[in-house]
Amino acid sequence: MKAAVLHEIKQPLAIEEVERPQPGHEEVVIRVEACGLCHSDLHVADGDWPQFNKIVKKPLILGHEIAGQVAQKGATVRDLSVGDHVGVPWLHWSCGQCDFCRTGYENLCVAQKITGVTVDGGFAEYVKAPASHTEKIPPGLSSVEAAPLFCAGVTVYRALRQAEIRPAERLAVFGIGGLGHVAVQIGVALGAEVTAVDISDEKLALAKSVGAFATHSASAPDTLKAMRSRGGAHVAIVTSASRAAYDLAFNSLRPTGTLLAVGLPAENICFAPIMMASKEVRIRASAVGTRQDVREVLAMAAAGKVRCRVATRPLEDANEALEELRRGQVTGRVALMP
């Protein structure tokens, strides 16, 4: 089968023929119809996360926003059939036995396997996955529409759900990329008044088109003043991998506000403890999501509350698409199609 393979960090992916995977007893093999391109793929390929470099499989097929059809299944698989429309998320497998799995945090499983990081992912014609962690896609969603929900969608959904944002509260979304424009829609669906912040006029226009109440340029000198004039944000979610976005988001919060850390800059971020204490600011991080989170965000999409803007590219263009992502030239999401 054809695949885009990472052989070494900081080297282009090789488009080559590799052996097609075969399912174990409890696994399925999926014919990939679309695989979203995520900033995490870029960070893994570029070695931006030293903590991850030691667990990255080599050679590796990247890709963890996978949608397609079951092509084969193992002998003991009962809940999935050949031809089912399914997807595979970042959380490739969790043990079900550790403290985190037993308390609703399987996304933090101590023995987890990660799609496109510790096991091969979806930048290929076929991918193998455990049937237990393969989710059915609801009717009405195409593979192109569904694929980004398996990371971009579930990540911002879990973060906003944990923040317990209430109707009419002010939500500020910093970074209107693949995650950010979905966060705007989920915020609107939750009844929040959503403000979008980015440096790109095109991305701000996208935010407005999907329901943002207001938009602000991150580079405008009066952005913080405008946001504070309304009392500041109850919740600010940063989906950008930019330290400057975190600084701006922190300063946009009202007292007792919550900063949601979702975007992952390569460098550390830092806030003055006196400012954290004086405003009683809460900082929460969120790591992708559980299988239940995936089901809930797919249901929102099937109900028409969330639609990811997706451009498609052939698998052979994987390196060009990664380069566009590096340069910040992607509006919405890109999905690779074998």
Which tens digit of pLDDT belongs to each residue from 168-190?
999 999 999 999 999 999 999 99
Strands in 123-262 per DSSP E:
126-130, 135-136, 170-174, 193-198, 214-217, 233-238, 253-261
Q: Give the separation between CA 73 and CA 278, rounded to whole angstroms.
A: 57
Task: Give SS3 for 264.
Answer: coil
Please write the tens of the pLDDT for every residue from 14-27.
Answer: 999 999 999 999 99
Contact between 307 and 185 (Cβ < 8 Å) = yes
Sign of CA dihedral 102, 38, 156, 274: positive
Share of residues in the chain with pLDDT > 90 (%): 86
CATH number of 2-151+289-337: 3.90.180.10
From the list 225, 201, 196, the residue with the least C-alpha distance to 212 is 196
Residue 332 above 90 pLDDT? no
Residue 221 above 90 pLDDT? no
pLDDT of residue 48: 86
Say which residues have a Cβ less than 8 Å from residue 270's Cβ, sequence separation at least 6. none
Q: Give the separation between CA 232 and CA 211, rounded to whole angstroms.
A: 19
Highest mean pLDDT among 45-49, 76-80, 216-220, 324-328: 76-80
Percent composition of the chain: helix, strand, coil (DSSP 3-state, to 5): 30, 30, 40
Say which residues have a Cβ less than 8 Å from residue 150's Cβ, sequence separation at least 6. 36, 64, 65, 66, 67, 87, 88, 89, 90, 135, 294
Residue 47 above 80 pLDDT? yes
CATH number of 153-285: 3.40.50.720
Please write the tens of the pLDDT for every residue from 274-302.
Answer: 988 999 999 999 999 999 999 999 999 99
Residue 198 above 80 pLDDT? yes
pLDDT of residue 253: 96
pLDDT of residue 267: 81
Domain boundaries, the chain: 2-151+289-337, 153-285
The model's pTM is 0.93
pLDDT of residue 50: 82
Q: Position 306: which residue type? A: V
Share of residues in the chain with pLDDT > 70 (%): 100
